[in-house]
Amino acid sequence: MGDMGGDQVSEAVAGSAALLRTVSGRDWDGVKAGRLEWSCRETAVHVCSDLIAYAGQLAGRATKAYVPFEITVEDGTDNAGVVDVLETTGALLAATVRTTPRDVRAFHPYPFRSANREGFAAMGVAEVLLHTHDIAEGLGVPYEPDAALCEDVLTRIFPHVRPGPDHWRTLLWATGRGELPGRAPVTEWRWSNNLVIGSERLTLQGVNPAAAAELRAGGTGGFAWVEGGPFEGTRDAAGMVVKAYEAGVHRPEWGLFVLVRTEDGRAVGGMGFHGAPDEEGRAEVGYDLAEKARGNGYATEALRTLAGRALAHDDVKVLFAAVERDNTPSQGVISRAGFTRVGEDADGFAYELRGTDRSLVTPARQD
């Protein structure tokens, strides 16, 4: 599963435009779009507004708020003209996504205040697919996009949603537009872009299910790795993310993060949790580095940062780590990050960092 970008935006827009042109002679103003309060025409214009807004966020590198502009369709424009605007704004987003470097992030409010080009592409595709469905439902015409597009959206910005056998039906259910056997109806929903946490020399970039699947399969996950990376522990952790996603229990804040060196954009290792905190507020952490990146203090820096963010949650009481007995370098990392050895067995040592033991923990900076 490769990078999501301009091609997917173009595909989604082309499919939508092809359908909407077949019904452009119909009354869009007097018909509600599916379950929405908007008319079909208002919904189509809304999609255009979102596409150009996403392009503006990325192109302008907005970091604190939405760029304060909006699109206006000229008075007297017919429905076919609105479809022209849809195609144009879609082309602008696709071009912006294609020309934006991977590490650029721009403001989006939910849930972690930013998104990268993949996130904006996925949000744009979601807007097109879902609102074309709404319009089609209102006008009584069939519409079903390609399943691969729906899977692209689900694995990028719905990491908390358990996948189903039908990607389109799952996306509709996840956004309150349909039913799935054995699942309760959805009345409130949000998509979720990946979390990125900054430290002094690194960014800890959350790995979504699509990237995790690629890492598990032996790929790069979309990251530019230092020589010899990623190490086997990162691939194993990616497999844990995939399993959690497939079970519907993955929580992005408690998954895998790839450690990316700020100076050159190279990924040097992986770090993360074995799952969300349990009922006692306990979460297990693990990490590794590519061999070429070791000896520079990256793991200690990242662990202090990640631990600081985790312990800032009121429901997290203690972080736990297990280190093999013969892994002396890792024992040094965990100790320098403020963890205390609390036990041992034949295989290794157990370490803990409690919420009250924060003297060595570096406050996290969320980018």
Domains along the sequence of the chain with CATH: 6-174 (1.20.120.450), 196-366 (3.40.630.30)
Is the CB of residue 362 less than 8 Å from the CB of residue 304? Answer: yes
Residue 361 pLDDT? 58
Banded model confidence at residue 1, pLDDT cuts 50, 70, 90: low
C-alpha–C-alpha distance, residues 197 and 302, integer Å: 9
Residue 250 pLDDT? 96
pLDDT in tens, 297-353: 999 999 999 999 999 999 999 999 999 999 999 999 999 999 999 999 999 999 999
Q: Of all residues in the chain, what percent carry a pLDDT higher than 70?
A: 96
Residue 148 pLDDT? 97
- Is the overall model pTM greater than 0.75, yes or no? yes
Structure token digits, residue 92 = 């602008």
Banded model confidence at residue 358, pLDDT cuts 50, 70, 90: low
Structure token digits, residue 270 = 């992986």
Residue 359 pLDDT? 54
C-alpha–C-alpha distance, residues 160 and 34, integer Å: 25
Is the CB of residue 29 less than 8 Å from the CB of residue 78? Answer: no
C-alpha–C-alpha distance, residues 163 and 143, integer Å: 21
C-alpha–C-alpha distance, residues 5 and 124, integer Å: 10
Q: Is the pLDDT of residue 355 over 90?
A: no
Structure token digits, residue 197 = 């946490």
pLDDT in tens, 133-163: 999 999 999 999 999 999 999 999 999 999 9
Residue 320 pLDDT? 97
What residues form DSSP beta bridges with 80? none
C-alpha–C-alpha distance, residues 25 and 48, integer Å: 19
Residue 364 pLDDT? 58
Rounded to the nearest 10 degrees, how much is the dihedral formed by the CA atoms of 103, 108, 113, 118?
Answer: -30
- In the predicted model, what is the mean pLDDT of the chain? 95
